[in-house]
Every structure is written in structure tokens, then in C-alpha cells.
């Protein structure tokens, strides 16, 4: 695993939306997806102590980023539907149920 998050392609299939790489949004043009290759793994955990931008450090540092922002957004825009998915099973249920229902009418 690379540590990058790619949304399941099923979301775009269900909603009829094009796939967008999150890295492309962050890096902007002319970024292009890198080729997938075997053995794409995060470095060993000891780099957590030496790499200031280690993925685990980043996740700890940013874990509360939306703690206040999402409730504020939901409060100021009550028409928005906020979906929090915490497991693969929840994603599958959401794809097959609420998401599918919302785009098929």
C-alpha cells in the first residue's frame, strides 16, 4: 500500500461522476497519477522518529482538523448531508443503499 487514499471507483460508478485523484487536487497541474507498481509500501516504522512528514505523524497531527469545522458547516448549511464511514462494511452499505437511492431517485 502506498498510504495514498483513493476513493473506491464504485462511488463514481454509482453517482455517474468522473474519478479524481486526490493528489491531483493537492499538487495541481501538471501532476499525473503515478504508475502502480508491486512493492509500493510505506517505509519501516522506525522512520516515524526521523521523518517529520511520516504518514503516521501526519495522521496524528491532522486528526482533529475537521472536528469543529464539519459541525459548523452542517449547522450553517442544514441541507447538506454529512456521511461518516468508518469501515469497509459501512462503505459497502452506503454505496448499495443511501448513495444509490439518492442518485437513482
Structure confidence at residue 34 (pLDDT): 66
Q: How far apart are CA 46 and CA 68, in angstroms?
A: 32
Structure confidence at residue 11 (pLDDT): 82
Residues listed for the chain: 105
Q: What's the N-to-C CA distance of the chain in angstroms? A: 36
**What is the span of the domain harbouring residue 26?**
1-63
Q: Are 23 and 13 in contact (CB under 8 A)?
A: no
> Do residues 35 and 2 share a domain?
yes
> Do residues 84 and 103 share a domain?
yes
Mean pLDDT of 7-12: 65
> Do residues 50 and 94 share a domain?
no
> Do residues 59 and 70 share a domain?
no
> Do residues 46 and 59 share a domain?
yes
Q: Are 69 and 76 in contact (CB under 8 A)?
A: no
> Do residues 38 and 75 share a domain?
no
Average pLDDT, the chain: 80
> Do residues 41 and 76 share a domain?
no
Structural domain count of the chain: 2
> Do residues 88 and 77 share a domain?
yes
Q: How confident is the model at residue 1 (pLDDT cuts 50, 70, 90)?
A: very low
Q: Are 102 and 90 in contact (CB under 8 A)?
A: no
80 CB contacts (<8 Å, ≥6 apart)?
73, 74
Q: What's the pLDDT tens digit per position in 40-86? A: 566 677 888 888 888 888 889 988 888 888 999 999 999 998 898 88
| % of the chain exceeding 90 in pLDDT | 10
15-19, 33-37, 41-45, 95-99: range with lowest mean pLDDT: 33-37
In which residue are the cell numbers 503516521 written?
Answer: 56
> Do residues 44 and 81 share a domain?
no
> Do residues 85 and 47 share a domain?
no
In this prediction the pTM is 0.54
> Do residues 49 and 23 share a domain?
yes
Amino acid at each position: 500500500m502506498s498510504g495514498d487514499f483513493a476513493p473506491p471507483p464504485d462511488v463514481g460508478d454509482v453517482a455517474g461522476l468522473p474519478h479524481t485523484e486526490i493528489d491531483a487536487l493537492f499538487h495541481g497541474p501538471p501532476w499525473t497519477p503515478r504508475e502502480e507498481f508491486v512493492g509500493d509500501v510505506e517505509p519501516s516504522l522506525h522512520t516515524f522518529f526521523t521523518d517529520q512528514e511520516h504518514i503516521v505523524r501526519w495522521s496524528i497531527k491532522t486528526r482533529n482538523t475537521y472536528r469543529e469545522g464539519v459541525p459548523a458547516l452542517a449547522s450553517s448549511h442544514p441541507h447538506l448531508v454529512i456521511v461518516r464511514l468508518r469501515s469497509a462494511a459501512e462503505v459497502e452499505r452506503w454505496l448499495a443503499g443511501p448513495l444509490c437511492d439518492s442518485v437513482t431517485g
